[in-house]
Each structure stands twice: as C-alpha cells, then as structure tokens.
Structure 1
Amino acid sequence: MLALTGVGGIAQAQDADPNLARNLAATCATCHGTNGHSQKGMDSLAGEPAEKLMEKLADFRSGDKPATIMHQIVKGYTDEQLSLISDWFAAQK
C-alpha cells in the first residue's frame, strides 16, 4: 500500500511541475539549439508536429533511422517524457 502511495506522489509531482516539458527539452539544446532553433546544421525541432517528432524518436529507438548518438539518447527517456518533449517543441514558433 505504501509503495502505491509513493508512486502516485511521483506522478503528481511531475504533473505539478509546469516546467517539466521545458526542462526535459533543454537537454536537446546542445545539438538542436535553444528552444529547438538549430544554428549548427542540425534539424530544428521548433514548430515541428509532435507526431512527426515522435515518429523520428521511435525510429531512432528501434534503429530504423541511422544516428550517431540519438539512438542512445532516446533510450534514456520514457514514452511519456518523449511525448512531453515533442509537444513542447511543437508548441515553439
């Protein structure tokens, strides 16, 4: 019973953090630019449809899309976190 309460508390803490998606997406800035606006020849993520981003991430995870590092990075996130990140980038102009 206690374990279930703890898990619910974690989920509530994540839901209560209004900056969670932004904070998760910030890890992408080194390659994809601040707020997803790439300056280095990498793909810009800002304004891309979330569904398209999720498809690319799934392809990196499965190995269907060639990558230098994304296939490793994407495996460090849950599907829910990737969805938050994709939605956040999709909302950027």
Structure 2
Amino acid sequence: MIRIALLAAASLMVATTAATAAAAPAISASARLAATCAACHGTNGDTHGSTLPRLAGQPQQALSTSLHAFKTGQRTSTIMTQIAKGYTDEQLDLLAAYFAAQKPGGVK
C-alpha cells in the first residue's frame, strides 16, 4: 500500500515537473551568458548614464573585436580583461551577437 502511494506521488511529481518545464520559456545560450553582464552593463546591455558603455545596439563586429581584445590583453581594463579571459572565443562571439541585436531603451 505504501509502495503504491509512493509510486503514485513520484509519478505526479515527474508529470508536474515536466509540465512546468514545458511551460517555461526557452532561454537562449547567449541570453544566459549576457545575464552575467547585467550588474555592470544593465539589463540586455542597456546601460543608463555615462559611467559604462551601452552594449545594446552596438555593431556586432565592434563588440566582438573589443571582447577579444580584452581577452588577449590588447585592450586593458580593471575588470573586463579578467572577465573576458573566462569565456571561450565562441562565447564572446555569442555575447557580441546578443548585445548587437538588443534595442537601446528596450525592456527594463
């Protein structure tokens, strides 16, 4: 009796988890990477003010060039040089594409 109840509860939990996962919106790999940049560069790279550069809407090639330059040390920064070293070249390109596709003044 207890086994049947436990199996029924486990089946219900699996079904509920699957339904919740199916209902959740998919988050792209580039959006996941970009979320780590939000603390300094704002949501979706839409920085407000002039302290840090706005990434949203910048040309993809310019962003990619800057990110790779930070990674290699060709461009120095107190923080970005260290952060960029933690990403693969492919991840930096994903970030550049993501931020280039964002609209300045978009979702807050």
- TM-score of the alignment, normalized to the shorter chain, above 0.5: yes
Map 1:1-93 onto structure 2 (within 5 A).
19-40=28-49, 41-93=51-103
- Considering only aligned residues, what root-mean-square deviation do their CA atoms show, in Å? 1.3
**Percent of residue pairs bearing the same amino acid type:** 51
| 4+ aligned runs moved over 6 Å, structure 1 | none
SS at match of 1:76: coil
Amino acid aligned to 1:31: C
Query: How many residues of Structure 1 are paired with residues of Structure 2 in the alignment?
Result: 77
Are the equivalent residues in 1 in contact too, given 2:70–2:81 (CA < 8 A)? yes
- Structure with more helix by fraction: 1
Alignment match, 1:5: none
Aligned residue for 2:62, secondary structure, equals: helix
Gaps of 5+ in 2: 1-25, 104-108
Q: TM-score, normalised by structure 1?
A: 0.76
- Report the 3-state secondary structure (helix = DSSP H, G, I; strand = E; otherwise coil) of the residue aligned with 1:55: helix
Question: Which has the larger Rg?
Answer: 2
When normalised by structure 2's length, the TM-score is 0.66
